[in-house]
Every structure is written in structure tokens, then in C-alpha cells.
Amino acid sequence: MKQRGRKSVNLLALPIDASPPRLSAPKDLTKIERSLFDFIVDASPPLHFAVSDTPLLVSYVQATLMARSVAKPPTKLAEFERVVRLQAMLATKLRLSPQTRLNPETLARAHNNFAPNAVAPWESGDVA
């Protein structure tokens, strides 16, 4: 049960675990699948994935590796397109793609803070 009211100074002074546990790869993955799984999990914020995301993340890893394997032969273009479409859908569901991770308003605000005096190209007055 959570403590009600204000927290005491002693409670606030307790050390907090700086790194929450990350999602671990299932044991039945191959070595290369496991390394890609770990890379994706480590590249994301610590609380980005829940344990329930594991099957979906495994499917994404397998689709990524399959896309890599059929990317080179030009005869497998149709298969490559299907696998990449699946990969993109899974990336969206797992919030791995930039458009699903970033809020457009927050992104615009961050851009304005980074370059407050920047002039939009259409407002520069330069005519080519």
C-alpha cells in the first residue's frame, strides 16, 4: 500500500535504483536474433518495453533479419516488399519508428528552442 500524504525526509533520502530491469531475450532465439533483440532493447528507454511486448519484438527481430536476407537478390523484390511492410507495421506497433515516438507539437517546440532565430525557407525573401 502506498504512503498517504507527504513523504518524509528519511523516505526521500533512500537511494533509488537508477536502472530499472530491461526486457531480456527469450532463450529459444538464435545468437544473431538475440544480439539484435538486445540491441533494440538497449537502444530504447528503460521502460519502453513491457514483458508482454516480447512476442511482438521477437517477430520484429525475425522480420528485420528476413528483410536483410532477401534484400540483395533482385529476383526477390516482391518478397522483400512484403517483409519490409511487415517490419514497418511491427515497428509502428512497438513505437520504434520516429513518427510514433515523437509528438509533433513537442518536436516543433524543441526545434524552436534549438534554433529560435531560424527563418523558414519560404519567409527568407530569397527568390531563385
List the domain boundaries for the chain: 24-98
The pLDDT score that the predictor gives to residue 113 is 63
Higher pLDDT, 70 or 124: 70
pLDDT bin (cut points 50, 70, 90) of residue 5 is confident
Distances (CA, A) of 72 to 49, 66, 91, 122: 31, 11, 22, 40
Q: Is the pTM of this model over 0.75?
A: no
Distances from the Cα of 112 to the Cα of 1, 98, 102, 104, 123, angstroms: 43, 18, 15, 12, 15
Task: Report yes or no: 97 and 91 within 8 Å, Cβ to Cβ.
Answer: yes
pLDDT in tens, 97-128: 877 777 767 666 666 666 666 666 667 666 55
Confidence (pLDDT) at 45:
87
- The confidence score (pLDDT) of residue 17 equals 56
Contact, 22 vs 42, CB < 8 A? yes
